[in-house]
Amino acid sequence: MEFPQTHPENTSKIEILPGAQPDLSAATYVLHHETHTLGNALRWILTKNPKVEFCGYSVPHPSEPKIHLRIQMYDNLSSLDALIEALDNLDKLCEAIGEAYEQSLASNDYEKFKERL
């Protein structure tokens, strides 16, 4: 599903909202053209990181294709580094799931549904 362009092309996909800590140990990021699908997956991966103190996301308005992702870190670590790591881990997870699906499909060893007529 593609969203209409709602911001200039020179605007980045991710921006940091005002009010972030100078060291980025706590920040709220805006991820443009994203929905609950990415927000919930990133929140789940970030909460698995023991260096993350808090992580949550929200959709500011249902008609706006963007999410706000809040990350707070322990020990003044960078939330941006945690976000980049989470995005990388999510990418690897999706690749692994895709490969497992392709292997299962190629092996033809899966349950098949037969519709009754």
Q: Tell me, letter by letter, the H, E, C secondary structure of 1-51.
A: CCCCCCCCCCCCCEEECCCCCCCCCEEEEEEECCCHHHHHHHHHHHHCCCC
| The pLDDT value given to residue 31 | 97
| The pLDDT value given to residue 4 | 45
What global pTM score does this model have? Answer: 0.81
| The pLDDT value given to residue 15 | 95
CATH number (3.30.40.230, 3.30.1360.10, 3.40.50.180, 3.60.20.10) of 14-107 reads: 3.30.1360.10
Which residue ranges in the chain fall short of pLDDT 50? 1-7
Sign of CA dihedral 22, 25, 27, 32: positive
| The pLDDT value given to residue 1 | 39
| The pLDDT value given to residue 10 | 52
**Token reading at 110:** 């899966």
| The pLDDT value given to residue 112 | 83
| The pLDDT value given to residue 117 | 84
Domain ranges in the chain are 14-107
